[in-house]
Amino acid sequence: MNGYSSFDYLCNEPFLINGIGSIRCPTLRDIRRLTYLQFCFYLNMLSASTEDYAKLCVPETESRNHQEGNTKSLYGLLLYENPQLLLGILHFFLSDSIEFDRDTSSFLTFSQDREGNKHFNGHIGSDNFNLFCDAVLCIMGIQKSEDREPKFKNKHAAKLYEKLKNNPLSKKKKQDADYSLDNMVRKFCTHNKSGINILNVWDMTYYQFISMFGEYQNARQCDFNDMMAANTFSYKKSSDYKPLDYMRNTDA
């Protein structure tokens, strides 16, 4: 996606996506101001399909949109049925200013230089809204660029994919309460060696915090292993103790 990698996402600067605009990863403070529940709702919308969102619409609305041809995309449904939600998502994840273009039914994005001059960056419309959603989820560290469901050449392949996806053995476990965002913030701020505490954690971006929390967990395990080796050496084999395991890439 535009040459960005996990190294780039560690930075808190906006990411310029060609043809779309500058997308930012919100900080924990931004999420707090929006409210966490609303933030989760935005993320659900970004990962929803047109069919998923259409199920939330009343029958009359759904019928009218079908006649008008607006159900061809999630963008169309949001634009015509819930423009405030669409605006909220765009304002929250874009660092650019936006203007609605009635001729193309799309939002134009503009950045501003130090002299106050506006510069056109791109647009968000029915033709690239999925790309915008993918970019946001990648920048948040929630989805890799290849995570969206594939397209199939025939119905048989699509049905086989659905059977595999709906297999109970392949479904992910529900998120444990121990790993709710609020509890993760509390644990990370209570015991860490990087100087992050409950007063300054709020300026970390969501990606930074999730990434650092993964490293925090790895470090805690390595500290425990070091303590066992130093005090009891209870490993059956000395070769099982790997002091450099701390450098293992937890994001791989």
Starting from the edge strand earliest in sequence, which strands make up the sheet with 97-101, in order?
A: 97-101, 106-112, 118-124
Q: What is the pTM of this model?
A: 0.74
Six token digits for residue 243: 């002091």
pLDDT digits (tens, 9 = 90+) for 179-207: 889 989 998 898 878 889 999 999 999 99
Bridge partners of 108, per DSSP, are 99, 123
Q: How far is CA 16 from CA 3, 101, 133, in A?
A: 11, 21, 14
The answer, yes or no, to whether residue 232 has pLDDT greater than 80, is: no
Does residue 162 belong to any structural domain of this protein?
no
Residues 46 and 114 in one domain: yes
Domain end marker among 150, 166, 191: 150
Q: Please check whether residue 136 is in contact with residue 46, taking contact to mean a CB–CB distance below 8 angstroms.
A: yes
Domain count, the chain: 2
Q: Is the dihedral of CA 58, 79, 14, 139 positive or negative?
A: positive
Instruction: Tell which residue, 92, 76, 90, 79, has the closest CA to residue 123.
Output: 90
- What are the structure tokens assigned to 212, written together? 């650092």
Asked if residue 48 belongs to a domain, the reply is: yes
Tell me if 126 sits within 8 A of 53, measured CB to CB.
Answer: no
Half-sphere exposure of 9 (CA within 13 A, CB side): 26
- Read off the pLDDT of each residue in 33-50 and give the average, rounded to a whole number: 90
- 132, 192: one domain: no
Whole-number Å distance between alpha carbons of 205 and 29: 9
Q: Are residues 143 and 198 in the same domain?
A: no
Q: How many CB atoms lie within 10 A of CB 164?
A: 10
Same domain, yes or no, for 112 and 196?
Answer: no
Assess whether 19 and 105 both reside in one domain.
yes
Identify whether 165 is part of a domain. Answer: no
Report if residue 164 sits inside a domain. no
Tens of pLDDT along 136-191? 999 999 875 444 455 555 565 555 556 545 544 444 444 567 788 998 999 889 88
Same-domain status, 112 and 237: no
In whole angstroms, what is the distance from residue 201 CA to residue 209 CA?
8
Among 150, 165, 196, identify where a domain stops.
150
Q: Are both 76 and 129 inside the same structural domain? A: yes
90 domain-assigned: yes
Q: Are residues 143 and 189 in the same domain?
A: no
| CA distances in angstroms from 135 to 12, 25, 47, 93, listed in the order given | 15, 10, 11, 10
Do 102 and 220 fall within a single domain? Answer: no
**Residue 156 covered by a domain:** no
**Tell me: the pLDDT tens digits for 76-103?**
989 988 899 999 999 999 999 999 999 9
What residues make up the domain containing 190? 178-247
**Residues 122, 183: one domain?**
no
Question: 112 and 193 in one domain?
Answer: no
- Residue 251's φ and ψ, nearest 5 degrees, are -95, 0
Q: Do 99 and 218 reside in the same domain of the chain?
A: no
